[in-house]
Homo-oligomer: A and B are copies of this chain.
Amino acid sequence: MEDTTLEALIADWRSMVETSLQEHLASPEPILDPYMGMMHYHMGWVNREFRPIARFVGKRSRPLLLLLACRTLGLDAEKALPAAVSVELLHAYSLLHDDIEDGDEFRRHSPTVWKIWGIPQAINVGDGLFGCTFRAMAGLHGTGFGSDTVAVAMSMLIDTSIALTEGQFLDIDFEQRTRLSLDDYTRMVQGKTAALFGTCLACGAHLSTNDGPMRERFRRLGEQTGIAYQMLDDINGIWAHANDTGKAPHQDIRRRKKSFPIALAFGDRNIGERILALYNRDMKPENVEATLALLAAADIRERCLHLYGLQQVAIRRTLEEIGRVLHLEGRSVDLLAEFIGRLLSVPDLR
Contacts and interface: CB of A to CB of B under 8 A. Distances in A.
B158 A128 contact: no
A169 B37 CA distance: 12
Interface stretch (A13-21, A144-152, A326-334): A144-152
Interface residues of A, number: 45
Interface string A128-164: 1011101100100100001110110011001101101
Interface in A33-87: 34-35
Contact of A128 (B120, B134, B165): B165
Contacts of A162: 128, 131-132, 135
A32 to B, nearest CB: 6
Interface in A102-130: 102, 119-121, 123-128, 130
A289 to B, nearest CB: 28
B120 A166 contact: no
Contacts of A121: 169, 172-173
Given A148-B147, A151-B138, A151-B147, A165 B97 contact: no
5 contacts: A31-B184, A100-B123, A120-B172, A135-B162, A146-B147
Interface of A: 31-32, 34-35, 97, 100-102, 119-121, 123-128, 130-132, 134-135, 138, 141, 146-148, 150-151, 154-155, 158-159, 161-162, 164-166, 168-170, 172-173, 184, 187
A179 to B, nearest CB: 13
- The SS class assigned to the A binding surface is helix
Contact of A165 (B119, B131, B169): B131
Copies in the assembly, this chain: 2
Contact of A161 (B134, B173, B187): B134
The residue in A146, A150, A159, A168 that gathers the most chain B C-beta atoms within 10 A of its C-beta is A168
A151 B153 CA distance: 12
Contacts of A119: 100-101, 119
Given A147-B151, A159-B135, A168 B124 contact: yes
B169 A128 contact: yes
Nearest to A147: B147
Given A165-B127, A187-B31, A135 B120 contact: no
A220 to B, nearest CB: 20
Given A101-B120, A134-B134, A135-B162, 10 more contacts: A100-B119, A121-B172, A128-B169, A131-B164, A135-B158, A138-B151, A138-B154, A138-B155, A147-B147, A154-B154
B134 A169 contact: no
Contacts of A187: 31
Contacts of A126: 123, 127
A120 B148 contact: no
A31 B141 CA distance: 37
A256 to B, nearest CB: 14
A151 B159 contact: no
Nearest to A169: B35
A126 to B, nearest CB: 8
The residue in A121, A124, A141, A148 that gathers the most chain B C-beta atoms within 10 A of its C-beta is A124
Nearest to A129: B165
A35 B123 CA distance: 19
A334 to B, nearest CB: 35
